[in-house]
Structure 1
């Protein structure tokens, strides 16, 4: 699996000792309020998610990276590419996504990590188009999508939870890196 280095971050494969810090991130209601139905995830659910994320690397040739802070080696969350199976109307599509622990918000880490992943996906993985899906009202994620050069492509509704969603996207031809 690939590693990506940015000025402040290491995007790397998941390690066994990432489970507990990622479970702490997933257990924070402020972090999870915009994801799915807004429910937090426990240790077992996080472990299951990590297994799915690792399987996607095998199935798709891309997936979610663990994001490590270079200065401390601390896991701060994830970023990466995935297929948004939960929203069939956008398929086939590849989504850039991110989730960071609350103490790491507002410092530009999500944008820095997502920019590196977008560039990797478009230039190294040969993707022609990448999207980002966020719940309406999640201004922080919308800001990251805008910083990536993405524009709003459609408004829709989550098929399971009924929550309004925005789908942002960018084509390889629009990407300026």
Structure 2
């Protein structure tokens, strides 16, 4: 997925089809990402005077650890993006997130890698069960919460009456 700008200039005002299969060894240093399967990269390269735009469609499957059970699960990713490579942009220029400076060679691999990494979910679980509680905590319904708020400790009943009196005086 690498082309020299000289090669691409031959196709000025034309489109070039991209259809590649890429195998990344390690995609990220996150501990919950165990591996990534073969990645399909498809799209078109549109060559214009000083800019090259690339419409990308990336399909892959990332193997991750389930955040609840630590079992290995497959997470399919489908990413669509339009990336722009600008010959006039410098490395230090402040550019939009999908604009990249390019000098001699257009290399899509780092861009594809970055798109995959930012689209990997932070937390993933295969389980559809909602957690209802744990050690020293539980999930409450709205009704249970309002009931608990209405139940006043008898030792605090006099304080509650003082609070009610002060609210009535303010009105």
TM-score, length of structure 2 as denominator length: 0.25
Q: In terms of Rg, which structure is larger?
A: 2
Structure with the higher strand share, 1 or 2 = 2
Structure with the higher helix share, 1 or 2 = 1
